[in-house]
Amino acid sequence: MIRLVGILVGLGFTFVVLLSFVMGAYNAATEPAEETAEHAFHLDPKHVEFEHDGLFPAWDVAQLQRGYQVYKEVCSACHSLNQVAFRNLEELGYSEEQVKAEAASWTVPGINPDTGEASSRPGLPTDDFPSPYANNVAAAAANNNAIPPDLSLLTKARHHGPAYVYSLLTGYQEPSAELAERFPDSLPGTGLHHNPYFANLNLAMAPPLTADGQVTYADGTDATIDQMAKDVAAFLTWTAEPALIDRIKLGWMVMGFLLFATILAWLAKKQVWADMKPKRKD
């Protein structure tokens, strides 16, 4: 009797679980999802074109150098670039002497050889770009409790990375009246800034590009906010994947070889089977 009751209880429990699952699946499939501010007001990245886009891309070296200048003079105050070494700047057209001078213009963490204590020193070409903060605690304390991300691989970590960076830098604006009316809880709080290209619409980073001419380009290019945003987005594309152009070129070479090999194999097949005639059926 006890065994029978246990079986019935188990069957009842199984039935309730199965019924709950079926009802939940039915409700999820038939009831519309509750609209959120992020879903209603988040914007896809703007359309922007770069030299490294398309089937036959190339690096715009002048643009990459301008982008590095924007990073150095604007972004490096908060964001690290710890996957890139100063010596990598030679790939942007800088000479060895220029790279040494550029590295020496940065201050990197070091060790005092006499005392063994932490100190700082001018950078060397073999050093990585330093973080502006000693640790994450210091970074959070200086940025409204938000830790600025490292920018080395940012464009690979975001969908449509270069366009996302460009859109974010040029997308700061006041919240719309419709957002304030429909989702008042989504308005930026203290220390936050509204940007519809950011995932949750508000971020702790203040607009880094605030005025035209914020950077004086060495090549004389007019440094508008739009231009600076494009240049630094291109530069961060290079930091994330410096071998991008070589990889695409290699891909085309492989495709060409495969096409040639296919044609050669087809011609060989025709040659080998040229004298073979199908047997006639009497």
Query: What is the C-alpha R_g of the chain?
Result: 29
SS3 85: strand
Distance CA 235, CA 231 (A): 6
**Helix, strand, coil distribution of the chain in percent, nearest 5:** 50, 5, 45
Q: Is 276 assigned a ligand-binding role in the annotation?
A: no
Which residues, 6+ apart, have CB-to-CB distance to 2 below 8 Å?
A: none
From 73, 53, 51, select the one nearest 63 (Cα to Cα).
51
Q: Is 228 assigned a ligand-binding role in the annotation?
A: no
Q: Is 194 assigned a ligand-binding role in the annotation?
A: no
Provide the token pair at 269: 């097949």
Task: Using DSSP bridges, classify how beta strands 202-203 and 193-194 pair: parallel, antiparallel or unpaired.
Answer: antiparallel
Q: Is 79 assigned a ligand-binding role in the annotation?
A: yes
Task: Using DSSP bridges, classify how beta strands 118-122 and 202-203 pair: parallel, antiparallel or unpaired.
Answer: unpaired
Distance CA 135, CA 8 (A): 60
| CA 83 to chain CA centroid, nearest Å | 14
From 182, 151, 196, 167, select the one nearest 41 (Cα to Cα).
196
The answer to whether residues 101 and 89 touch, using CB atoms and an 8 Å cutoff, is: no
H/E stretch holding 109 reads strand 107-111
H/E stretch holding 72 reads helix 61-73
Provide the token pair at 139: 């970074």
Q: Which residues are annotated as a binding site?
A: 75, 78-79, 205
Q: Which residues are annotated as a binding site for heme c?
A: 75, 78-79, 205
